[in-house]
Amino acid sequence: MMSSSSNSIKNPAASSVIPDPTPFLFVVAAALAWFAIGSDAGTARLLVVAAVALPFLIWLGGMLASRPESGMILLVVAAAMPRGFVEIGGLKARPEHLAAGLLCVAVPLLIRHRHLAPQWIMADFVLAGYVAANLVSSLFMSVAPDQTLKWSIQQLLAILPYFFLRVLASDIAMLRKAFKIFLAVGIAEAAFGVFCFYSNLAFNTEFGMEIGQYGSIPGTFGTQYEANILGSYCGASAVVLMAMYAYYRRRSFLWGYAVAFTGMAISLSRGALGATMIAFALLLFFCHRMKLLNRRVLLSAATATLCATLIVMPALVSRYQERFSTLEVSDPAADENTLTRLVQLALAVDGILEHPVLGNGTSSFQLAVTREDVDFGSDVFWIGNTEVRVLHDTGIVGFGLFLLFIGMLLRRSIQALKKRFRPELLGLLVSSALYCVSFQFTEGTLLAFAWVHAGLIACMIVLQKPDGSNDQFELA
């Protein structure tokens, strides 16, 4: 007995089953230190937390520099929680910015020690050109170059996850892990959004909620930037999961779809709802052409959708009625949110006409518009339409590079699907169409989640082989 016990202790395979609790203990210690010092000792609190968290950061840096999957987890999780931020130099540094900064140090070490060799494609270089257009426009065309240059660097940090994924998921095994992480985070974000919604409904809690976003109705954002983004993100996850279920017929994908669909519904975003319906119509069309649909698949999908709808319907019916009651087809401006967007779009067009070639600088619209220009609605001035925002910020040059990048990815994706069908790529492609629709109303390319999505598509079209040599990519 003693001998076998001692052998099991010496056996590294047996001991590796037990996870190392050190990182968790450091996080707990940091939280306890935070509350123990009290709210009156701001500087002391930060110093203590920084001292306690330092070993955790060292451990995290070691993980990122030695294990590609750690970097992928960090990227996808950080991209799903842009609502939080810390003030650094007058700028809001969000988790995605901090994650990109950490990986700027870790990825070169990974390339050196793990011999990662990504296969670069022309779309990657076009996207790099788009990043350069943001920097040039912000530096030379802006009314406040110092400010817009900082914002263009934030845009760079939001786009970097695309390139990091191209490096980290440079083989099929890593891509398989990246895709699983992507699905898991999408389901978790939807579940947290649903939890926030019902917590507010039952106990009037405010975490994950924007009180008064829709007049008397709160909007649910979970950990995303705002409710419209949460709705689009969950809708995209639901589309990918349904594509996976139609091909693999695994109930886990169906359960995940039901959670993600519910997360989209509780966001109360009209744009996300419409975009999701359009995306599912496209998915139904492609699945029918690929002969993936039968009675069992359709019945299971309908049952999951009906169950999810019936569960949340009592809480959502009155809210959606109020959300759509302000819309008038004959007079869209009757809705205050729509009117605000229309006025801001008109002001953005004026800015485009002033500097049509190189634009006005990243996120420069808020510098040019004041309360005198828009004397109603929110105090936050932004361009909700992606195409208009890109044109305003980077001009025809940046907009052309942006469209060229999307066109190249779309063309390569269609070619890859024709050579060999993959439900993972189909789901990502159709959910990209969802983003194209929802980003007409709420701009999302300033955040990292859209670029993580694009990065996964690029990895798949590069690594997928038409000759059957990548069967191990299948999740079933």
Quote the CA–CA distance of 234 and 227 in Å, as a whole number. Answer: 11
In the block, which residue shows the tokens 């995605």? 96
According to the per-residue pLDDT averaged within each range, which of 188-202, 318-332, 376-390 is highest?
A: 188-202
In the chain, where the domains are located:
126-473
Nearest to 368 by CA among 391, 386, 352, 387: 352
pLDDT of residue 112: 78
pLDDT of residue 250 exceeding 90: yes
pLDDT of residue 32: 47
SS3 437: helix
Question: What radius of gyration, in Å, describes the C-alpha atoms of the chain?
Answer: 24
* Average pLDDT of span 347-367: 94
Quote the CA–CA distance of 204 and 181 in Å, as a whole number. Answer: 32
For residue 118, CA distances in Å to 59, 138, 207, 334, 474 come to 26, 30, 40, 51, 21
The two structure tokens encoding residue 452: 């993580």
Nearest to 137 by CA among 125, 124, 155: 155
pLDDT of residue 330 exceeding 80: no
Quote the CA–CA distance of 273 and 386 in Å, as a whole number. Answer: 18
Quote the CA–CA distance of 262 and 193 in Å, as a whole number. Answer: 9
The helix or strand, by DSSP H or E, that contains position 210, with its residue range, turns out to be: strand 209-214
Arithmetic mean of pLDDT over the chain: 85
Neighbouring C-alpha atoms within 13 Å toward the C-beta of 365:
30
Quote the CA–CA distance of 301 and 241 in Å, as a whole number. Answer: 11
The answer to whether residues 453 and 434 touch, using CB atoms and an 8 Å cutoff, is no
The answer to whether residues 169 and 72 touch, using CB atoms and an 8 Å cutoff, is yes
pLDDT of residue 47: 61
pLDDT of residue 125: 97
Least confident of 48-57, 101-110, 294-303: 48-57
pLDDT of residue 476: 46
pLDDT of residue 5: 41
Amino acid letter, residue 76:
V
pTM of the model: 0.87
In sequence order, the 6+-apart residues with CB closer than 8 A to the CB of 405 are: 123, 126, 127, 130
pLDDT of residue 382: 81
pLDDT of residue 10: 42
- Tell me phi and psi for residue 379, to 5 degrees: -85, -10
Q: Which of 42 and 444 is assigned the larger pLDDT?
A: 444
According to the per-residue pLDDT averaged within each range, which of 47-56, 73-82, 365-374 is highest?
A: 73-82
pLDDT of residue 35: 44
**pLDDT tens-digit series, residues 156-179:** 999 999 999 999 998 899 999 999
pLDDT of residue 11: 44
The answer to whether residues 432 and 452 touch, using CB atoms and an 8 Å cutoff, is no
pLDDT of residue 340: 74
According to the per-residue pLDDT averaged within each range, which of 49-63, 376-390, 436-450 is highest?
A: 436-450
Q: Tell me what percent of the residues of the chain surpass a pLDDT of 70.
A: 80
Name the percent of the chain in helix, strand, coil, to the closest 5.
70, 5, 25
Q: Tell me what percent of the residues of the chain surpass a pLDDT of 90.
A: 65
**pLDDT tens-digit series, residues 463-473:** 986 655 545 55
Q: How confident is the model at residue 86 (pLDDT cuts 50, 70, 90)?
A: confident
Instruction: Please report, for the chain, how many H helices and E strands are present, in that order.
Output: 18, 4
pLDDT of residue 68 exceeding 80: yes
The answer to whether residues 194 and 256 touch, using CB atoms and an 8 Å cutoff, is no
Q: How confident is the model at residue 87 (pLDDT cuts 50, 70, 90)?
A: confident
Neighbouring C-alpha atoms within 13 Å toward the C-beta of 378:
15
pLDDT of residue 154: 95
* Average pLDDT of span 146-155: 95
* Average pLDDT of span 283-288: 96
**pLDDT tens-digit series, residues 20-63:** 444 544 444 544 444 444 444 455 555 655 666 666 666 677 77
pLDDT of residue 89: 74
pLDDT of residue 64: 76
* Average pLDDT of span 121-140: 97
pLDDT of residue 439: 97
pLDDT of residue 356: 97
Chain centroid offset of residue 61 CA: 23
In sequence order, the 6+-apart residues with CB closer than 8 A to the CB of 465 are: 420
